[in-house]
């Protein structure tokens, strides 16, 4: 009987920790996002964003590496889960889809210098 109580207690503790970990996932935009900004002749179709949340604002870079674009403005509207990101003359606008999943996505459009534009779809890794 004592071992059953211990096993039950350990199971309850494990479940509690896993639920706490899920609840503390953090800001919906924080993390690495990979996808496509279709038709981007200058930087290519594939895009990588690394986003962070400091408790008051979203920051990060697009295509980190030698040609990274520092994000100058990023907003998330929790009323409709719309996202707006600006960096290096580019703007991305979309909505979060599948918010409840860790691998959520943002689907929308992008605009760039000289009238360039296209479809955007990025997925959080």
Q: What is the CATH number of the domain that holds 117?
A: 2.40.128
53 part of a folded domain:
yes
Tally of domains within the chain: 1
106 part of a folded domain:
yes
Q: Phi first, then psi: what are they for 54, rounded to 5°?
A: -100, 10
User: In terms of Cα–Cα distance, which of 93, 57, 94, 56 is closest to 72?
Assistant: 57
Please give the model's pTM, rounded to 2 decimal places.
Answer: 0.78
* Bridging pattern class, strands 105-111 and 117-124: antiparallel
The terminus-to-terminus CA distance of the chain in angstroms comes to 44
11 part of a folded domain:
no
| pLDDT surpassing 50 at residue 124 | yes
Q: What is the pLDDT of residues 32-64, one digit of tens each?
A: 999 999 999 989 999 999 999 988 899 999 998
12 part of a folded domain:
no
Structure confidence at residue 18 (pLDDT)? 43
33 part of a folded domain:
yes
What's the whole-number mean pLDDT along residues 105-115? 95
What's the whole-number mean pLDDT along residues 93-105? 94
49 part of a folded domain:
yes
22 part of a folded domain:
no
Structure confidence at residue 25 (pLDDT)? 57
| pLDDT surpassing 70 at residue 89 | yes
64 part of a folded domain:
yes
| Average pLDDT across the chain, whole number | 85
Whats the size of the chain, residue-wise?
A: 125
């Amino acid at each position: 009987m004592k071992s059953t109580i211990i096993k039950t207690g350990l199971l309850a503790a494990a479940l509690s920790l896993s639920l706490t970990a899920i609840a503390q996932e953090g800001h919906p935009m924080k993390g690495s996002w990979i996808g496509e900004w279709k038709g981007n002749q200058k930087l290519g179709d594939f895009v990588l964003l690394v986003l962070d949340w400091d408790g008051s604002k979203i920051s990060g870079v697009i295509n980190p590496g030698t040609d990274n674009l520092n994000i100058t403005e990023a907003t998330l509207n929790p009323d409709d889960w719309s996202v707006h990101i600006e960096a290096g003359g580019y703007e991305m606008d979309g909505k979060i889809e599948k918010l409840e999943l860790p691998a959520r996505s943002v689907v929308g459009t992008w605009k760039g210098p000289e009238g360039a534009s296209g479809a955007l779809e990025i997925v959080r890794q």
